[in-house]
Amino acid sequence: MTFIIDSTLREGMQSAHGCFTLEQSVEIATLLIRSGVDAIECGHPAVDNTEMLRVAAVVEAAGNTPVLAHARAHLGDIETVAKTGAAWVGIFLGVNDVSRRSRLPGSALTDLYGRIRETVAHARELGLRVRFTVEDSSRTDPAELVEAYLVAIEAGAERICFADTLGILEPQDTADRVRQLRKRCPGVDIEVHLHDDRGLAMANALAAVDAGATWMSTSVNGLGERAGITDYAALLANLHYRGTRELADGGLLNDLSRRVGAYARSMPDHRRPVVGRDVFHHVAKLHVRAVEREPGSYEWADPATFGRTGSVTRPQLPADPASWIVDPQVISATELRHHRAGPGERYVLVDNRFVPGADQYCIARRIPQLDDYGAGHVDTHVHHCDSLFMFLGEGDGYTGLSVEVTLDDRVFPVQSPASVFIPAGVAHGYRVVGGAGTYLNHVLAGEYNSSLIDPVGSN
């Protein structure tokens, strides 16, 4: 059996836009557990107190699912991990020439082996279980690599991790390295952590499994440094397809992907295996006729396995430019979740109903002068994509409209003219306080309701 440790909550925090809040981290961890992950890797608690509290919250939410937190080969880092309540610490240290020149100038190998021995032993004294990683394993001399692992194992490490930190290996190389580690370090679990800089992380992961690796490191949507690492949903799907690991709940993978994409402001592209919008979409006439008769003719797996449905429609913009000009329609706000009737009529300027394939939504609401605007007609809500509020008053220079805007747990007074950028994943709402004017809301999704994200467990 291949075990999976998902590192979205650590590696994902190192992606270009990844910065998960405590609450978002708990949501992600909850879905990971429900989807069958064997362990969760979360954060580097020594960074600051906020990070330590985030890791501790994930540990509490994870229950019986083990949580591993990262630490340099420093005693202080390891002691901070122990304070979070995490069961495991992932100690890492580079021992090759590049690491010694860039981070540890003047350090001899014997000094580094001594540091490994000291820190692993200290972690065990604190009651932590230890995974030891040689950073940049794939560019480390094989003899020095094995020696570092053997020192860690002798000091008490229960699992070693081979890291292709730059994503440079090819499948045969990966398999050879894992087989050598299996031979030289018998009786210990071997984990592999594979970056995708050359687009080979998934192929390398399967090669590592075949060569005897027992643990695989993944992240949702492959999120991580640079090009990221092995994709969680795709690896689960591949192991399921091979018949070596059953899916716990394939239907959760799309929601998990969507939330992580929103919170990281890095949605998966439409062609990403398993969770991409178009991966079960058939367009060619020959393919459409075939799958209508026999879906398996052009589908490697039943879409329902992953909570998906196949499609044979073509979501294409109308060819005639005249169709891109929209006559705005007055539509009740109550068709939108989290909205109630409020002051003024609401015009839908564009969405996929009026321009198929536009993939954006924009409304305009005329707000009249009132003595009492009520408690508000928009409850706080979250989109999986970025959106924008715009407020234009009736006065000179668009002045004259006063509102309160909620962003997460803060309320801001706003005077027109003003626009409010709302990143994906951020809870938001507004309330008119005074004046008259126009409110516009632009959302980067063609269907408003389908762009909403609800808290885990609310459905």
Instruction: For 104-143, give the secondary structure using H, E and C.
Output: CCCCCHHHHHHHHHHHHHHHHHCCCEEEEEEECHHHCCHH
Q: Indicate whether 300 belongs to any domain.
A: no
Residues 257 and 361 in one domain: no
Catalytic residue check, 70? no
Q: Which of 133, 123, 267 is nearest to 193 (CA)?
A: 133
Lowest mean pLDDT among 201-210, 318-327, 392-401: 318-327
Q: Are residues 71 and 180 in the same domain?
A: yes
Please report, for the domain that includes residue 171, its CATH number. Answer: 3.20.20.70
Of 282, 287, 384, 428, the catalytic one is 287
Q: Of the segments 34-38, 274-278, 333-337, 357-361, which one has the largest average pLDDT value?
A: 34-38
HSE at residue 64, side-chain half, CA atoms within 13 A, is 2
| Position 16 in a domain | yes
Q: Which residues pair with 148 in a beta bridge?
A: none
Sheet with 401-407, edge to edge strand ranges: 410-415, 401-407, 428-435
pLDDT recorded at residue 225? 94
- Report the distance separating Cα 383 and Cα 454, nearest Å: 9
Residues 253 and 399 in one domain: no
Please give the residue range of the domain that contains residue 439. 321-451
Selected residue with higher pLDDT from 154 and 298:
154
Q: Rounded distance, CA 288 to CA 395, Å?
A: 56
Contact (Cβ atoms closer than 8 angstroms) between residue 346 and residue 329: no
Q: Alpha-carbon distance 255 to 28, whole Å?
A: 10
128 pLDDT more than 80 = yes
Number of domains the chain contains: 2
Does any domain span residue 279? Answer: no
End-to-end CA distance of the chain: 33
Q: Let me know whether 246 and 338 are in one domain.
A: no
User: What is the Cα 199 distance to its own chain's centre?
Assistant: 18
40 or 457: whose pLDDT is higher?
A: 40
Is 31 a domain residue? yes
Give yes or no for a cis peptide into 273 (omega within 30° of 0): no
Confidence of residue 440 (pLDDT cuts 50, 70, 90): very high
Reported confidence tier of residue 104, pLDDT bands at 50, 70, 90: low
> Within this chain, do residues 69 and 198 fall inside the same structural domain, yes or no?
yes
pLDDT grade for 248, boundaries at 50, 70 and 90 = very high
Q: 189-194 and 437-443 as β-strands: parallel, antiparallel, unpaired?
A: unpaired
Query: 327 and 228 in one domain?
Result: no
Q: Per-residue pLDDT averaged across 255-279, rounded?
A: 94
Assigned domain for 160 exists: yes
Average pLDDT, the chain: 93
User: Which residues pair with residue 88 across a beta bridge?
Assistant: 68, 129
CA 101, 150, 204, 35 torsion-angle sign: negative
Q: Which residue, of 263, 279, 299, is where some domain finishes?
A: 263
Calculate what percentage of the chain has a pLDDT beyond 90: 79
Kindly state whether residues 258 and 326 are assigned to the same domain: no
Could you tell me the CATH number of the domain that includes residue 336? 2.60.120.10
